[in-house]
Structures are given as C-alpha cells and as structure tokens.
Amino acid sequence: MSKFSEWFHNILEEAEIIDTRYPIKGMHVWLPQGFQIRKNALKLLKSILDEDHEEVLFPLLIPEDELAKEAIHVKGFEEEVYWVTHGGLTPLGKKLALRPTSETAMYPMFALWVRSHQDLPMRFYQVVNTFRYETKHTRPLIRVREITTFTEAHTVHTNSQEAEEQVERAIEIYSSFFDQMGIPYVVTRRPEWDKFPGADYTMAFDTLLPDGKTLQIGTVHNLGQTFAKTFQITYETDDGQHEYVYQTCYGLSDRIIASILGVHGDEAGLSLPPEVAPYQVVVVPIIFKEGAQEVLDFCGELKNQLRSSGIRVHLDDRDLRAGKKFYEWEMRGVPLRIEIGPRDLKEGKIVLKRRDTLEKEFVEYQEEQVVDLVNDRLQRITTNLKEQAWEMLLENLREVNTLDEARDTIQEDGGIVSFLWCGDEACGKDMEEKVQVDILGIQEDADTGECVNCKEKARYRALLARTY
Ligand code: PR8
C-alpha cells in the first residue's frame, strides 16, 4: 500500500473509528465502532496483566515539584508537558502538570507503601489518558497529544536480577498480546540516545506498517534505582538495613489500535482479528419477493443460535441492496459473513465469506454443527491474519553488508534493515544522518565482522528503519 497515510485517515472516518474533527490538534473522539475495538483489545490485555499485576488509578494532575524531582526524567518531558495554572480565577500556588506518564505521580506514593522486603515485589498497572504536547506531526492514534489508552505498568523489586526478570516477563506479556492480535514485531534494545528519560535501558517493540515505515508499539524500561533514589523508595531488609528498590515500567498506547487496523487492512478496508472485531459475524439475508419471510426467519434463528453461544453476531436485515451491505461490512472489517437466500435455504446450504481471504464457501447447513463451523472459521481467520502479517514483516527485513546497501534498500524497498554495528553513539548518529533513518536498536550481540559505517569491530546486530 503506497498511500498508507491517506488510506489510514480515510478508513478511520469511513469505518467510524475516530472523529478527527475535535477542535484541539492531536485530540480525537472515539466513535462507537472504534470504542468497541478498543474495549475488546483492552479486555484481552487486562486479562493477561491481571494474572500477576494489580490495577490501580492515580490522579491526572502532578504537582510541579514532584514532576521536577527526577532531573533526567523532567528534562526528557519538559517540552511536552501541559500545565494547569489556575483554579477558576485563582492562580494556583503550585502549578499542576497533566501527566505525560505517571512515574512522578506514583513513586512518591510507592515511597509510602514500600516498607519491608515482604511488601515486594509490587506490580501495578493503570489504563488512563496521558497528555504530551508532541511537536512532531500529529496523526490519529499514532502520534496524539491526548493518549487515551495509555496502559502503564510499574513494578518494584528488592534486587536488580528480579527487575531484569520482570523486563523479560513484560516482553513475554506484550509478545503474547501482540500474537493474539496477529501483530508482528521486532524487539530491540533502544540505543542510549533513544531510551526513556531516567531509564537504565529501554526495550522496544516495533511493527511494520504497509508503507514500509516502522511504528513503535510498546516499550519496557528497566529503571534501575534512579527513581528509587530520587523518591526515597526504600525497604527494610531482614537485618534492619534500608535499601533502595529496583524498578521497571512498561507501556502501550492507542498505537495498538493503529497497528491492528494498519497491519491487517487492505484496499477493501479493515480486516479485523475476530478477538477484537465489534461484530465477528454478520448474517445477510438475500431477499427476493418469493420466500422472503422464510429467509428472514431462518437468519433470525441462526443469529440467536450464534449469539447464545457467545459469538458477536449481527443480522443485517435493512431494506438495502445486498451488494451495498457486503461493501459496508467488508470495509468495516467483519471477519466472517454468512449469506442466505431462498435457493440456499431450499438446498440446505449457507454461504460463508471470509474477509481475510475474500473466499466464498458453500457449506451444508446442519443446526447442531453450525456453531462449531463458525468458530472454526474464526479461528482460521485469526491464524491466517497473523501468518500473513508475519510474512509481510519478515519479507521486509533485509540484511545488508554496507552502508550504501542500507541506503539503497531503505530508499527502494523501505522496511527494516539488519546490519552490524560497533555500538558507538557518534557512529550511530552519523549513520542515522547519512541514511536518513533511525536506528531502532540492538537485536543481539555479534562476535564477528565489522561495523558497516566506521569499519571498527562489530559488537552488535542492529536494526534500522524509517519510523513514525
Ligand atoms: C513510558 N512510563 O511512558 P514511553 N501517541 C501515541 N502513542 C504514544 C505517544 C503518542 N504521542 N507517545 C508514546 N506513545 C513509560 C512506560 C509508563 C509506561 C506510546 O514509556 O514514553 C509508544 O508506543 O515509551 C510507547 O511505546 C508507549 O506509548 C509508552 O511510552
């Protein structure tokens, strides 16, 4: 898809996901269809997090002095913070920030909550809106100024090994979530100059959008003891000593929805994974004058049967041409369509049309098997969407041996380029400048070969791409 940006913008409007006409740049309205997708995605994400995290809810406003306490952190966000300066007509004694993220809201409270090593580990998460005055070009769901679906987790540990393990666990959690959404990804350790302000290091998930640019869809940060020292979060050991805790945090945003829509969509519109689709199945009666009532009755019963087995199904009995309905439901990405006309009814058949492959299948109708049949097709759609998407990513992940090759590959094919790198910051930034790309990060250690840019000994295999 060459004009992804345009496609994305149009589909948000046509499929009624988001209304972008709200009169503040970077802030949008979730419409019912979009909200359902968001709700279903969050339901899955929360169920995974709930296994070993507790959900909490912190205030939106952060006092200026708390936000300013962690110097590196505040420096990273200073250009992006929205401020509340007045209560009505009264100037506030202390300015209040709209949270750009919640470390400085949560950690003063953590300092009160953590007492002894028996309180640890702690694992919390919240789903909230956060505000960032982004200066780069804003785009709905991708770069917004009000992030409405900020799912942030914060954990506290007694030792660094446990924090390291939590980073691994968070990567597993996000992998499992993205796998169930059929979103392919690469995971890298971000270069030093691109890590989260205040973190020891940042691990990031990037997916590839159809225009060949990558989108960061999740990050996991090992915070070490930086915030613990700033906010005095200590615990008492068995022998009465006070030690600073180790922390991690990780987050996802509205970009998870952007990637679900963007990765699976095609020229005909959205193609939603059954897990998140507002309607998983739409039943469309094909009405002729003759036998209309029988067809409608049959479709109604089928709908009830599917619904009572937990499938999200809709009966489209509007007085419209079937072709118009087909177009609309395909554009909205409903995974499976069932068409039934008078002749099908006579022959004891139903027609299934898969959104992902656009294949039509004529199957014999058997009342006691239809639920299994539909569930089986939904499962196949889930699997196929994931496989197709991974194939697309892997086809566009190319290894290069020289900087020229990296430049040509990015210019001609886009996608993600894998290369050997010395790991030096100046060299990395020089490369970003020369090829006009971003280094996503380090994938793994390398023990042979030379850096594609400076020709020094390579220490890492790293990835670069044009990014959102
Ligand atoms: C943290 N603190 O904040 P992070 N629009 C949409 N998505 C965005 C935007 C934006 N303007 N900015 C960032 N994201 C840590 C971890 C608590 C949780 C998305 O981390 O600043 C990105 O996908 O890396 C990013 O991976 C995620 O929010 C977390 O933001």
Tell me the pLDDT tens digit for each residue of 450-461: 999 999 999 999
The closest alpha carbon to 228, from 205, 248, 204, 254, belongs to 248
Task: State yes or no: cis peptide before 278, omega within 30 of 0.
Answer: no
Q: Is the pLDDT of residue 46 over 60?
A: yes
Q: Are residues 417 and 311 part of one domain?
A: no
Model pLDDT, residue 2: 56
Find, among 287, 282, 296, the residue nearest to 328 by Cα: 282
Distance CA 213, CA 206 (A): 10
Same domain as 256, residue 347 = no
**Which is nearest to 155 in space by CA: 169, 175, 174?**
169
Q: Are residues 124 and 192 in the same domain?
A: yes
Q: Is the pLDDT of residue 1 over 60?
A: no
| Residue 384 placed within a domain | no
Residue 345 maps to which CATH number?
A: 3.40.50.800
Tokens of 302: 């089928």
- This prediction's pTM: 0.96
> Do 356 and 406 sit in the same domain of this protein?
no
pLDDT in tens, 49-88: 999 999 999 999 999 999 999 999 999 999 999 999 999 9
pLDDT of the residue at 210: 96
Please check whether residues 326 and 246 belong to one and the same domain. Answer: no
Using DSSP, how many helices (H) and how many strands (E) does the chain show?
14, 23
Percentage of the chain modeled with pLDDT above 90: 99
> Are 164 and 309 in a shared domain?
no
In a domain, 217, yes or no: yes
Q: What is the pLDDT, as a whole number, of residue 290?
A: 87
Best substitution site from 255, 259, 260, 468 to test ligand 1's pocket, by max atoms within 8 Å of Cβ?
255
Q: What is the span of the domain harbouring residue 123?
A: 4-264
Nearest atom within ligand 1 for CA of residue 142: 6
Q: For ligand 1, say whether the CB of 223 is within 6 Å of any of its atoms.
A: no
Angle at 202 between CA 196 and CA 203, to 5 degrees: 140
- In a domain? residue 275: no
Is the CB of 353 within 6 Å of ligand 1?
no
User: Looking at the structure, do residues 242 and 320 belong to the same domain, yes or no?
Assistant: no
On whether both 354 and 403 belong to a single domain, the answer is no
Give the distance (Å) from ligand 1 centre to CA of residue 258: 14
Same-domain pairing of 234 and 346? no
236 is written with which tokens? 């008492």
What is the residue-averaged pLDDT of the chain? 97
Q: Per the domain annotation, does 274 fall within a domain? A: no
272 in any annotated domain: no
- Which of 269, 277, 260, 23 lies closest to 142, judged by CA? 260
* Residue 273 included in any domain: no
Separation CA 46–CA 177 (nearest Å)? 10
Q: Measured from the CA of 217, which atom of ligand 1 is nearest? A: 23
Structural domain count of the chain: 3
pLDDT tens sequence across 377-408: 999 999 999 999 999 999 999 999 999 999 99
Domain closes at, from 314, 343, 377? 377
